[in-house]
Structure 1
Amino acid sequence: MTTTTQPHIAPTAHIAPDARIGDGTRVWHQAQVAADVEIGTGATLGTGCYIGSGARIGDNVKIGNHADLFGACLEDDVMISPQVVLTEDRTPRATRPDGLRQGPCDWTSNPVTVRRGATLGAGARVAPGVEIGPYALVGIGAVVLGDVPPHALVLGNPARACGWVCRCAHTLDSRLRCPACDRAYELTTDLLTERPSAP
């Protein structure tokens, strides 16, 4: 028998009337969810986070306190740590050349995509249109300006690849094996894939 639970939404959270929030999702105090947002089941939105218009958030996603996600697409099992910022405007300006304030029709959204199981460390910043690959790990405070391959570990400003991580988030050794769970991987043309387990 399957049981479902309604979302838990803190009384101080602000949810747009047309936002869709899945069963078992928790939205904490002062979180803001804008119009046309879809959030899956079992997700957690931390205190003071902002989810911008059009964002798509998968199942079991964790979004830390005070993270700002502008129109992003997050697949299932993604972790966004506190104070992460995912941007979507490649040419930001407050006003148009004629001096009038910019409106929604004056710019094009280029949202960030974060693939299944990836983690973004606290305070990371990601440029518009970037794709973070499955199970990648973006380090604390990294500034990501380009796409991140699956399972890559990226650090710094600008972020640079400096290793590979297992789906359990531990850094792989020189043989591309996980010291924590013993999964093995292989690298072909800059793409890391998990080797099938031995029978």
Structure 2
Amino acid sequence: MASKIHPLSDVQSDNIGDDTYVWQFSVILPKAKIGSNCNVNANCFIENDVTIGNNVTIKSGVQIWDGVILEDNVFIGPNVTFTNDLIPRSKIYQDEVIRTLVCKNASIGANSTIVAGHSIGEYAFIGAGSVITKDIPPFTVWYGNPASHKGFITKDGIILDLNLIDNKTGDQYSFYENEFRND
């Protein structure tokens, strides 16, 4: 099935996959690449040098600037802002775009800011309102300003404390071959 573009959006890119929905008042520039089965909510801005994988959810009010790559199954909460210039000045443009990578299955909570040049690992979970100022390892939970490491998260979305304990059940987990196991 073809992508669905709301008539009140300004989509200039032809690089949008099947079953992707773009809501009203969003702007997508001509060179942006967006995969299949994505959901770009209202009032989003996606610049030219942006690559978005398949099954990505981008909630309302998100700005994604040049240099950002979102891999498959990423969740971007409302009003998340990505940056791409570490020393911004009016009418002075950088020579090279600073790259930011959000790896597969990562989630970024509402109102977070992602400072340019960092990667967020697979399945990582960034809590609402966080400011990311460093690389985030896979399967970790971070929040705060600046964000700090608060725990771990399983592929199934179970949040563990820094000792790999599920505080809801008291179960102890271990990490083996890129996945958590309940001991």
Q: Structures share a fold, TM > 0.5?
A: yes
**Equivalent residue for 2:155?**
167
**Equivalent residue for 1:131?**
119
1:60 aligns with 2:55: yes
Instruction: Name the larger-Rg structure.
Output: 1
Q: Runs of 5+ in structure 1 lacking a partner?
A: 96-101
1:39 aligns with 2:39: no
- Which of 163, 178, 181 is 1:193 aligned to? 178
What one-letter code is carried by the residue in structure 2 that aligns with 1:15? V
1:107 aligns with 2:95: yes
CA RMSD, Structure 1 to Structure 2 (Å): 2.4
Identity of aligned residues (%): 30
Contact kept, 8 Å, 1:73 with 1:114, in 2: the verdict is yes
Q: Deviations over 1:5-59 (max 9, x none)?
A: 100000011111x440000000000111112111000000000011111100000
**Equivalent residue for 2:107?**
119
Contact kept, 8 Å, 1:184 with 1:194, in 2: the verdict is no
- Counterparts of 1:62 and 1:164 in 2: how far apart (Å)? 22
Contact kept, 8 Å, 2:55 with 2:72, in 1: the verdict is yes
**Equivalent residue for 1:158?**
146
Q: Deviations over 1:60-85 (max 9, x none)?
A: 00000011111210000000000000
Secondary structure at 2:142's aligned position in 1?
Answer: strand
TM-score by length of 2: 0.89
**Equivalent residue for 2:64?**
69
| Larger strand proportion of the pair | 2
Contact kept, 8 Å, 2:53 with 2:70, in 1: the verdict is yes
Secondary structure at 1:82's aligned position in 2?
Answer: coil
- Which of 1, 16, 20 is 1:25 aligned to? 20
- Counterparts of 1:115 and 1:88 in 2: how far apart (Å)? 17
Displacement of 1:174 in angstroms is: 6.5
Q: Runs of 5+ in structure 2 lacking a partner?
A: none
Contact kept, 8 Å, 1:166 with 1:183, in 2: the verdict is no
TM-score by length of 1: 0.82
What one-letter code is carried by the residue in structure 1 that aligns with 2:135? D
